[in-house]
Amino acid sequence: MLEPQQSSPPPPAAGPPARAEKSGRASRTLMGATTAAVVLGFVALALPAPFVVESPGPAINTLGSVDGTAVIRVQGHETFPTSGSLDLTTVYVSGGPEREVSTFEVLQGWLDPSQDVLPEEAVYRRGVSGEQVSEQNTQEMADSQSVAVAAALGNLGIAYEQKLSVAGLAAPTNEGVLGVGDVLASIGGTPITDLAMLREELQAAGDAPVALGIERGGEPRTVEAATTAGEDGQRQLGVYLQTTYDFPFQVSFDLDNVGGPSAGMMFALGVVDTLTPGELTGGRHFAGTGTIDADGNVGAIGGIAQKMAGARSLGAEYFLAPAENCAAVAGRIPDGLTVLKVATLAEARAAVEGVAAGKDAASLPACP
């Protein structure tokens, strides 16, 4: 009987199998490198970046209420019902001392036309803490509200008192002569009415000492104060000054979690509307932004593109923009929003009243 023969396995091939083995190792290496690159990419996107991202924030009607409480409350003076909207506008700011943004958030900001990405140092000074930023924003908001009331009362012809007091020493020029809390009442025997008047009198005195009437602890006294010339040539006392106001009635604002000075103009318009008969807006929907001083001058602000976007998303038809911001407005106006240029509270009021009365907005000063 013949046994079946067992055949020996063929010798290994010398060519193609070796190439396949090498190709497999290369594929595994490539896959590993790709995986590592992807992981490193995600890690890089998650890393903090030294930028700030500005995006549209909410708009709040100064004529309305928040959580059932009126934004503007007046005690001691007649108020009048009104309608329409005078929205103050806000910006969400991501990044900076309070919270770092990731590279991914920065990339998103660059791709989103409603957002702006700025170097952190263009927004915050180096070394400032989140707590300091929060305190500054809160103080600026409180100051803007007081100044807004002053501007509104001035616009309405309602008298009030303002006082300049020493907030701190900026130089040793008058150390021991002036102190924190001193109220500056007169210069050379003339009552001090405001900061501009004080600056004029200091400049007129040249390098000669000036006689300042002050109140310290409620007691009047006269001191002789020296001045120095600043970089711009303006004579200075070497002190930080703050303005306090004494209004004939109380105006308060109920608004949390919003900081900075940029709502000043809209607060002032809201106060004007609250204190005057009729509807300033004619029932229309206005929004706006801008700082304000006691004389009613409107100043530039940041984030105006985001504020316009936020206002339009909530139905605003007209937007009051500081004249100094018109260059930043160009090319960023949302569809359906008319942007009116204002430099003073009087101009802002006239624009609102004009539109409310049926005036063609195209005939009013506007940002391009």
> What's residue 42's pLDDT?
46
Residue 270 has pLDDT above 60, yes or no: yes
Out of 34-38, 49-53, 184-188, least confident range: 34-38
List all residues 6 or more positions away from 93 whose beta carbon is below 8 Å from its beta carbon: 52, 53, 54, 123, 303
> What's residue 97's pLDDT?
81
Average pLDDT in the chain = 88
In the structure, what pLDDT confidence band is assigned to residue 21 with cuts at 50, 70 and 90? low
SS3 56: strand
Greater model confidence, 159 or 24:
159
Residue 24 has pLDDT above 60, yes or no: no
Backbone angles phi, psi at 127, to 5 degrees: 85, -5
The model's pLDDT over 102-135, given as tens digits with 9 standing for 90+, comes to: 888 889 889 999 999 998 888 888 877 888 888 8
Residue 31 has pLDDT above 60, yes or no: no
The model's pLDDT over 271-319, given as tens digits with 9 standing for 90+, comes to: 999 999 999 999 999 999 999 999 999 999 999 999 999 999 999 999 9
Residue 40 has pLDDT above 60, yes or no: no
8 A C-beta contact, residue 208 and residue 228: no
Out of 93-107, 175-189, 229-243, least confident range: 93-107
In the structure, what pLDDT confidence band is assigned to residue 100 with cuts at 50, 70 and 90? confident
Greater model confidence, 93 or 21:
93
8 A C-beta contact, residue 74 and residue 247: no
Average pLDDT over residues 316-328: 97
> What's residue 128's pLDDT?
79
> What's residue 336's pLDDT?
96
CA dist 346 to 156, 291, 342, 352, Å?
Answer: 10, 14, 9, 10
Q: Helices 130-156 and 264-275, interaxial angle, to 10°?
A: 40
Residue 34 has pLDDT above 70, yes or no: no
Q: What's 208's DSSP letter?
A: S
The model's pLDDT over 193-242, given as tens digits with 9 standing for 90+, comes to: 888 899 999 999 999 999 999 999 989 999 999 999 998 999 999 999 99
> What's residue 5's pLDDT?
40
> What's residue 48's pLDDT?
57
8 A C-beta contact, residue 288 and residue 59: no
| pTM of the complete model | 0.79
Task: Report the distance separating Cα 43 and Cα 221, nearest Å.
Answer: 66
Average pLDDT over residues 22-34: 56
Token pair 């991501």: residue: 94
Task: Report the distance separating Cα 364 and Cα 290, nearest Å.
Answer: 18
Using alpha carbons, select from 135, 146, 122, 148 the residue that is nearest to residue 303.
122
Question: Helices marked H in 4-157 — which ranges?
Answer: 16-46, 103-111, 120-123, 130-156
Average pLDDT over residues 162-189: 94
CA dist 341 to 29, 115, 276, 350, Å?
Answer: 62, 22, 24, 11
- Domains (ranges, CATH) in the chain? 51-158+247-363 (3.30.230), 161-246 (2.30.42.10)
Residue 175 has pLDDT above 90, yes or no: yes
Task: Report the distance separating Cα 181 and Cα 166, nearest Å.
Answer: 5
Average pLDDT over residues 43-51: 58
> What's residue 25's pLDDT?
58
In the structure, what pLDDT confidence band is assigned to residue 33 with cuts at 50, 70 and 90? low
Q: What is the distance, to the nearest Å, from the Cα of residue 24 to the centroid of all Cα atoms in its chain? A: 60
Q: What angle do CA 58, 361, 323 make, to 5 degrees?
A: 65
Region for residue 157 given its phi and psi (left: phi exceeds 0; alpha: psi -120 to 50; beta: otherwise): left
Question: Helices marked H in the chain — which ranges?
Answer: 16-46, 103-111, 120-123, 130-156, 195-205, 264-275, 304-313, 326-329, 345-356
> What's residue 28's pLDDT?
55
- Residue 60: both structure tokens together: 């709040």
